[in-house]
Amino acid sequence: MKKVLFATTALVATASVAAADVSFSGYGRFGIVYNSDDGTGDSSTDLTSRFRLQIDATAESDAGVTFGARVRLEGEERDAANGNRPQFNGVRYFARSGGLEIGVGNIFGALEFMPGMYPIDIGLTGHNYDYTAYNFRGDAYSSGGLGDGGDNGVEVLYSAGDFSLHVSASDTDDRIAAHVAYTWNGWTFALGAQDSDNAADTEFAASVGGSFGIADVTLAYADNGTAGDHIVLAGRVDVGAATNIEAYVADADQWADTSFGIDFNHDMGGGTSLRGGVSTGGSLGDETMVDLGVRFNF
């Protein structure tokens, strides 16, 4: 992450602001993705790419309260195919003091931010994220749209030691969601729930994750309303100093077949990595997806 510090009176609104900080971070990725069925009965091999620039701006009051905002500029190859250019998303604003944070706008979302919902990140592209148990059936930070920025999104996050709490709400289907998490002896346990006017939204979620021998493992479950149950077992193991392998198996009532995936991530140094993965079943049906490429973080 590269940081630019603005701490002069010429760049802050008033002398009462202790300091202002603007940081830039993100990543780029490019490679190829293969699908055994492109929807027409034929296989396809295509280029895939993404560029994400994240901007975080904060200022701290004399009382020690941090006020800030986050916005992203993101573009993908599919955007170009649809005649679109990279664009900024909706802004998330927040105020933070100690372990308490209040966010509004394009909020993170209590279920999206719950431990165990993203136990791994398969391949270069994430594939179809079948290993995300709540299946995106709740409020979430949108990288390419407004999210709940135009829908009265608000959330409260609190942490104290090994305990954390996250409550979020929005006018999207009148959602109210919350999760609690606690870390004990290297294992994190989390419970989440949501009330929504949408019968297909997640109602309950639970996860547990930690280290088991040489592997990091996570077991997650969600009751996704009319879509039924969704359960995921995922793990990561190091194979050498610079390479790890991730794998998952996921089953959901809405799928005809169980979902499987495996990948590798090789650290090439300097924030660069070579990544590739394969997945099948689940949301892909009898299709197989394979990707391979390079990612660089900055």
pLDDT, mean of residues 240-246: 96
What is residue 8's predicted lDDT score, i.e. its pLDDT? Answer: 32
Q: How far apart are CA 217 and CA 44, in angstroms?
A: 33
Distance CA 270, CA 78 (A): 28
Tokens representing 134 are 């709540």
Q: Which CATH architecture has domain 27-51+75-297?
A: Beta Barrel (2.40)
- pLDDT surpasses 80 at 242: yes
Give me the percent of the chain exceeding a pLDDT of 70.
91
Instruction: Say if residue 93's pLDDT is above 60.
Output: yes
Q: Which residues make Cβ contacts (< 8 Å) with residue 73, sequence separation at least 6?
A: 52, 53, 55, 86, 87, 88
CA distance 75 to 189: 35
Average pLDDT over residues 222-247: 97
Distance from C-alpha of 9 to C-alpha of 20, rounded to nearest angstrom: 10
Q: How far is CA 40 from the centre of its chain?
A: 31
Tens digit of each residue's pLDDT (9 = 90 or more) over 26-83: 999 999 999 998 667 789 999 999 999 999 999 999 999 999 999 999 998 876 666 6
pLDDT in tens, 156-188: 999 999 999 999 999 999 999 999 999 999 999
Q: Is 173 exposed, middle or buried (0-12, 13-18, 19+ CB in 10 A)?
A: middle
pLDDT at 19 over 80: no
Domain boundaries, the chain: 27-51+75-297
Q: How far is CA 207 from the centre of its chain?
A: 16
Taking the C-alpha atoms of residue 133 and residue 221, their distance in angstroms, rounded to an integer, is: 6
CA atoms of 109 and 143, how far apart (whole Å): 13
Angle at 76 between CA 262 and CA 230, to 5 degrees: 40
- The predicted model scores a pTM of 0.89
* Mean model confidence pLDDT for the chain: 92
Residue 84 has pLDDT above 80, yes or no: no
Least confident of 11-20, 111-120, 132-141, 226-235: 11-20
pLDDT of residue 2: 44
d(C-alpha 83, C-alpha 197), whole Å? 35
* Cα 268 from Cα 95, distance rounded (Å): 37
